[in-house]
Amino acid sequence: MPVSDAGGWLRPSDPERRAGATPRVVLFALLAGLLTAWLLYDGMGANLLICGAATAVGAGFAARAASRRIRPWTAAWSLLALALLAVPTLWDAGRPTLLAVACALGLASLALHGGRRWAGVLFALPGLLWHLVPATGWAWTSMEGRSPVERDRIVPVLKALAVAAVLLTVFGLLFAGADAGMADLLDGLTPHLDLDQLPARGLLFALGTFTALGFAHIAAGPRRWDRTVIRPGRERRRLEWALPLVALDLMFGVFAVIQAAVVLGGADAVLSNTGMSRSAYARQGFWQLSVITALTLVVVAVAKCWAPRSTAADRRVARILLGLLCVLALTVVASALGRMWFYVDASGLTSLRLGVLVAEIWLGVVFLLLITAGLTGRTGWLPRVVVLSGVLTVAVYGLMGPDAIVARQNVDRYEQSLRTDPHTATIDLRNVRLLSADAVPALDRLPEPQRSCALQLIGRDLAGESKPWYATGASVARAREILAERPPVDSALIGRRSCDRVGPGFGVR
């Protein structure tokens, strides 16, 4: 039911009704827990998709019991969540994987909650957290409330699964002892269980089960965050509200004029007007401009909340001043991107620089969406499209292989410098030595000793215990093949100090 204003500014409505947990929902939650404990202990890869599929099936059964229908946005969020979970199946880098998994969980929650307004979309993203604890009691109460005949349906299934597990274990051991090929296959498919692993696997089982029950709890009766009452800010007088924005617009305008004179003039203009190199000029201002871009979004949101709106003239002034600020903010985005281009051209690409560059591009897209909403006068589509743009950015960032791109750009720069001036060509190996296995194909193109210096740490990590196929990305298999054919030279023969920054003469530069 709708929420009254007396309950405070942040209070979502409860669902009209919540369907009970069916035996199928409970079974798939337990299956998700078992798969999580079995597969996720060794790492992340295709196992995330497997566990996610079991969780999705359980949530689907809960939604069906509640007579809920699949809507277009629900399908879109669900497909994007699966795309995000595919990132660790392709690449090995940890930061993009964790970001993709976090976004996938948020999208799955949004898909089940639904939501159109800002409150409905933003509060639905972490909405799973509000369902984890109630979901357990919901499942237990639902099972207790069912008839003995319905409860008895679960016991035969559990018995069948237990018998199947015993049979597969016994005959698997016998087949493995009879044939080496079968032993290798089963060794890659099954985890190695030790007693000291039981506590960690128990925690993983609980995590998988509670997460699956949480999503099923949402599907059975989501909280209607769209009905959250958020009172608008107190309307300000036109002068009180507009004067700070006019001053800020003027400052942004002055900055835009300076950028047109300095940046558009090229490297010579940068040197003559600032007395700095392109690299120093970019390094000095990029991070500040990135902060300015983010703060501008906060200013726009707060100003919109307090904007005068009593008359058509007030609304027109608010639209003009906020629209102008968004347009001028695009010049800040363009300047930040230009400075990063100078920075990368002079010093090379790193994982941090690439990540911030992608984030800056997304902020520019958000400003374009705000400008479009202001010009059309329609904002109902804005919350979901802004989230969609952010999720697509994370998906593209993860699926394109950031570490592979960073390694490829640095190797390309080094090869170009070798062709231009072989005696001064260097590569800053500190930028590439700490990359993941995704970087191995590009780093393998380096000559010795640069190649061995770049691959030392990666080769050491991959030389450890081999993980099963479901717990690693495809890039790890490629890296292992490359390093098996051409192992890096032993670090003792190269020297730690020489590997910091070496050129063709194998000297520290």
DSSP secondary structure, 358-416, as one string: HHHHHHHHHHHHHHHHHHH---TTHHHHHHHHHHHHHHHHHHT-HHHHHHHHHHHHHHH
Domain with 317, as residue range(s), is 238-385
Residues 210, 63 share a domain:
yes
Cis peptide before 199 (omega within 30 of 0): no
Residue 345 sits in the same domain as residue 418 = no
pTM over 0.85: no
Closest CA to 32 of 205, 240, 225, 226: 205
Q: What are phi and psi of 395, to 5 degrees?
A: -65, -45
Pair (205, 322) in one structural domain: no
Evaluate whether residue 509 is within a structural domain. Answer: no
- At 451 the three-state DSSP class reads helix
Instruction: Sort 460 into a burial class: Cβ within 10 Å, 0-12 / 13-18 / 19+.
Output: exposed
> Using CA atoms, how far apart are residues 348 and 228, in angstroms rounded to an integer?
47
pLDDT at 233: 63
Kindly state whether residues 180 and 250 are assigned to the same domain. Answer: no
pLDDT in tens, the chain (509 residues): 344 343 444 455 566 567 888 888 988 999 999 899 888 888 888 899 999 999 999 999 999 988 888 888 999 999 999 899 999 999 998 899 999 999 999 999 999 998 888 888 988 999 999 899 899 889 888 877 666 655 566 667 667 767 877 777 777 777 777 777 666 666 666 666 666 777 888 899 999 999 999 999 999 988 888 877 767 667 677 777 788 889 998 999 998 887 777 656 655 655 566 666 666 666 666 778 888 888 998 888 888 888 877 788 888 888 889 899 999 999 888 888 887 887 887 788 888 889 988 998 999 999 999 999 888 888 889 999 999 999 999 999 999 999 999 999 999 989 888 888 877 778 878 888 889 999 999 999 998 888 888 898 888 888 876 788 888 889 998 999 999 898 887 654 555 555 654 444 433 33
Q: What is the pLDDT of residue 392?
A: 94
Whether 398 is covered by a domain: the verdict is no
Domain count, the chain: 3
Same domain, 291 and 223: no
Non-local CB neighbours of 27 within 8 Å, separated by 6+ positions: 58, 154, 157
Do 271 and 411 reside in the same domain of the chain?
no
CA distance 204 to 355: 30
Asked whether 119 and 230 are in contact (CB, 8 A), the reply is yes
R_g of the chain, CA atoms, integer Å: 28
The first and second tokens of residue 357, run together, are 């560059």
Answer yes or no: do 489 and 458 share one domain. yes
Q: Over 133-189, what HEC string results?
A: HHHHHHHHHHHHCCCHHHHHCHHHHHHHHHHHHHHHHHHHHHHHHHCHHHHHHHHHH
Residue 89 lies in a domain: yes
Decide if 397 is inside a domain: no
* Within a domain: 377: yes
Q: Is 147 a member of any domain?
A: yes
Tokens of 123: 């509060």
47-53: Cβ within 8 A, 24+ apart: 47/470, 47/471, 48/85, 48/88, 48/89, 48/101, 49/82, 49/85, 49/86, 49/89, 50/470, 51/208, 52/81, 52/82, 52/85, 52/104, 52/108
Return the pLDDT at 505.
Answer: 40
In-domain check, residue 348: yes
- The reply to whether 421 falls in a domain is yes
Hey, what's the torsion of the CAs at 448, 451, 457, 461, to 10 degrees? -110
Give which of 60, 78, 56 is closest to 22, Cα–Cα: 60
Largest CA distance in the chain: 87
User: What are the tokens at 491?
Assistant: 């670090």
Specify whether 27 is located in the same domain as 135.
yes
CB neighbours (10 Å) of residue 361?
14
Phi and psi, residue 224, nearest 5°: -90, 85
Check: CB of residue 55 under 8 Å from CB of residue 32.
yes
Could you say which of 330, 359, 385 is where a domain stops?
Answer: 385
The answer to whether residues 328 and 201 belong to one domain is no
**249 and 220 belong to one structural domain:** no
pLDDT on residue 223: 83
**Distance in angstroms (rounded) separating the CA atoms of residues 392 and 337:** 20
Looking at residue 489, its pLDDT comes to 79
Q: Are residues 246 and 190 in the same domain?
A: no
Pair 103, 205: CB distance under 8 Å: no
DSSP state of 196: G
Are 359 and 411 in the same domain? no
Phi, psi of 30 (to 5 degrees): -65, -40
Report the candidate in 223, 229, 226 with the shortest Cα–Cα distance to residue 9: 229
**Side chain identity at residue 103, one-letter code:** C
